[in-house]
Structure formats: C-alpha cells, structure tokens
C-alpha cells in the first residue's frame, strides 16, 4: 500500500481544512470509517505517514482535491 509522509505542516493543513468545514474529529472519523485517534494522530503529525487512499477519502469528505508533490500536500476545491 502506498503511504504519503505527513509532517507538522501537512497535519496542520489537514486540521485547518476540517475546522474550516466545521467538522469535529468524531464527525470526520465517521465519514472516513477510521478511529478518532487516527484523525488526531495525523493532524498532529504523531503518525508520520498515511495511506494514499485515506488521504484521497479525506479530500472527498471535505470537498477538496488533495495532491502530493514531495515534500508538500496541496489542496484545491473540487469542481462541481
């Protein structure tokens, strides 16, 4: 399984996206089908990487397209 490295900046970006959509950790974890602790670990960069498919689902849940171009994550709004 392909994994994407997550650093503190990437984790902060993921958290900012979630907060911008006014979702709690619980709500996002329910949408993604993962434990709340997984969300917290990724947002704080305690977990240093995440599966590429989870990153894609995260973007879908928040209505953005997530791109990874080492070493950075980037986000853009999905087209309707």
Q: What is the CATH number of the domain that holds 9?
A: 1.10.260.40
Residue 45 maps to a domain = yes
Residue 33 maps to a domain = yes
DSSP code, position 46: S
Predicted local distance difference test score (pLDDT) of residue 3 = 84
Residue 80 maps to a domain = no
If you search the block for the tokens 């911008």, which residue do you land on?
20
Residue 63 maps to a domain = yes
11 neighbors 49 (Cβ within 8 angstroms)? no
b/e sequence 42-71, b meaning 16+ C-beta within 10 Å? bbebeeeebeeebbebbbebbebebebeee
Question: Which residues constitute the domain of residue 7?
Answer: 3-75
Residue 70 maps to a domain = yes
Query: How far lies 26's CA from each of 18, 49, 78, in Å?
Result: 11, 20, 23
Predicted local distance difference test score (pLDDT) of residue 20 = 92
pTM (2 decimals)?
A: 0.81
Q: Report the domain count for the chain.
A: 1
pLDDT profile of the chain (80 residues), mean per 10 = 82 92 96 95 87 90 83 70
């Amino acid at each position: 399984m392909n994994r994407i490295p997550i650093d503190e900046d990437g984790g902060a970006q993921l958290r900012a996206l979630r907060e911008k959509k006014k979702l709690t950790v619980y709500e996002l974890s329910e949408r993604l089908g993962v434990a709340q602790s997984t969300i917290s670990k990724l947002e704080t960069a305690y977990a240093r990487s995440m599966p590429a498919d989870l990153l894609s689902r995260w973007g879908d849940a928040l209505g953005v397209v997530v791109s990874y171009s080492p070493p950075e994550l980037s986000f853009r709004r999905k087209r309707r």
